[in-house]
């Protein structure tokens, strides 16, 4: 058996996983598309050195920000790691908020057309003329189901969805619906930390971003982003630099807005991310929902997990 701890940003997933680790022998598999990158610590809320040392963690700091990491790679790595952890007599905990990774793990990979550089270039050229919100509106007319789960400025995924339509002649949502569900080689018990009051989650998100930002530009996420920019080989077209917080910090360093606007834009982008994460979660019926705002949320999770283990 393996356990998934899912939830939106700032829902307390890391704290819940570490609490479980104090009660039973586990190893943590990160399910986070930002934690894979080396040198991106503050803006990703990466576990501290002490937390990483307290229990084995996997799929953190595994690639350079110049590289990419696909759902297929994650699925292969996660299935391999679960088997290895189980062989060591420990419980694998899959912890994170990248819902596309969870969906890819549970449902299997799709049979979508492979990327076409020429098509993507044409889409990028059109986006340069009308903007990504305009491209999002175009996608909504062609595939409203996919458009509903994408932010208007999610350039990478909007491009991919439009590319699929052009290459296949069908909406991505239709192709995904046809996909046969894959049977995992292990039982997965899934918990979802979801807020009973989104306003409270929004307050947590604001506080977290303010902590990441810090009081000065020579510390916090701005300084971290400046260090990444100084390498000279990174740009906003890369998946790593499009991560929430880093994109806004990069644009701030480009002089597009002031520090007050940076704070506002970062918080809004993080709230939008949380909204998309919750939308994904609602599409996952086989999950045990726990109110992440409850004072005993972690205790509830532990009690349910213990009961399940005892009855297995």
Residue 62 in contact with residue 251, Cβ under 8 Å?
no
Rg value, the chain, Cα: 20
How many whole angstroms separate alpha carbon 157 and alpha carbon 127? 13
* pLDDT tens-digit readout, 220-270: 999 999 999 999 999 998 999 999 999 999 999 999 999 999 999 999 999
- Confidence at 179, pLDDT banded by 50, 70, 90: low
The pLDDT value given to residue 110: 67
How many whole angstroms separate alpha carbon 288 and alpha carbon 187? 14
| Measured CA distances, 71 to 77, 233, 245, 281 (Å) | 10, 24, 22, 17
Tell me if residue 185 falls in helix, strand or coil.
Answer: coil
How many whole angstroms separate alpha carbon 214 and alpha carbon 220? 5
Residue 180 in this model has a pLDDT that exceeds 70:
no
Tell me if residue 188 falls in helix, strand or coil.
Answer: strand
Residue 226 in contact with residue 220, Cβ under 8 Å?
no
CB neighbours (10 Å) of residue 118?
Answer: 8
* pLDDT tens-digit readout, 130-169: 999 999 999 999 999 999 989 999 998 999 999 999 998 9
**Exposed / middle / buried, residue 131 (Cβ in 10 Å: 0-12, 13-18, 19+):** middle
DSSP label at 240? G
Element of type H or E holding 58: strand 57-58
Mean pLDDT, the chain, rounded, equals: 93
**Exposed / middle / buried, residue 172 (Cβ in 10 Å: 0-12, 13-18, 19+):** buried
Residue 277 in this model has a pLDDT that exceeds 60:
yes
How many whole angstroms separate alpha carbon 264 and alpha carbon 24? 41
Residue 177 has phi, psi (to 5 degrees) of -65, -25
- Confidence at 175, pLDDT banded by 50, 70, 90: confident
The pLDDT value given to residue 286: 86
The pLDDT value given to residue 66: 95
CB neighbours (10 Å) of residue 258?
Answer: 10
Closest CA to 291 of 204, 194, 190: 194
């Amino acid at each position: 058996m393996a356990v998934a701890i899912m939830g939106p940003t700032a829902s307390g997933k890391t704290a819940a996983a570490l609490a479980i680790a104090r009660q039973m022998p586990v190893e943590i598999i990160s399910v986070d598309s930002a934690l894979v990158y080396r040198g991106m610590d503050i803006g990703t809320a990466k576990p501290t050195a002490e937390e990483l040392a307290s229990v084995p963690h996997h799929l953190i700091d595994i690639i350079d920000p110049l590289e990419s990491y696909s759902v297929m790679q994650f699925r292969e790595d996660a299935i391999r790691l679960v088997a290895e952890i189980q062989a060591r007599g420990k419980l694998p905990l899959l912890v994170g908020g990248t819902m596309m990774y969870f969906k890819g793990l549970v449902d299997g990979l799709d049979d979508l057309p492979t990327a076409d550089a020429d098509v993507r270039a044409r889409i990028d050229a059109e986006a340069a003329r009308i903007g990504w919100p305009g491209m999002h509106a175009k996608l909504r007319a062609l595939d409203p189901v996919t458009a509903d789960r994408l932010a208007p400025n999610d350039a990478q995924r909007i491009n991919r969805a439009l590319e699929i339509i052009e290459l296949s002649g069908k909406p991505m949502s239709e192709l995904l619906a046809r996909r046969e569900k894959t049977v995992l080689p292990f039982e997965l018990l899934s918990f979802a930390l979801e807020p009973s009051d989104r306003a409270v989650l929004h307050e947590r998100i604001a506080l977290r971003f303010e902590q990441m930002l810090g009081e000065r530009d020579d510390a916090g996420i701005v300084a971290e982003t400046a260090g990444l920019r100084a390498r000279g080989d990174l740009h906003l077209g890369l998946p790593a630099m499009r991560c929430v917080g880093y994109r806004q910090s990069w644009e701030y360093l480009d002089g597009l807005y002031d520090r007050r606007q940076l704070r506002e834009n970062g918080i809004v982008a993080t709230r939008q991310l949380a909204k998309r994460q919750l939308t994904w979660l609602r599409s996952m019926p086989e999950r045990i929902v726990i109110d992440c705002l409850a004072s005993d949320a972690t205790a509830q999770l532990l009690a349910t997990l213990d009961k399940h283990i005892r009855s297995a």
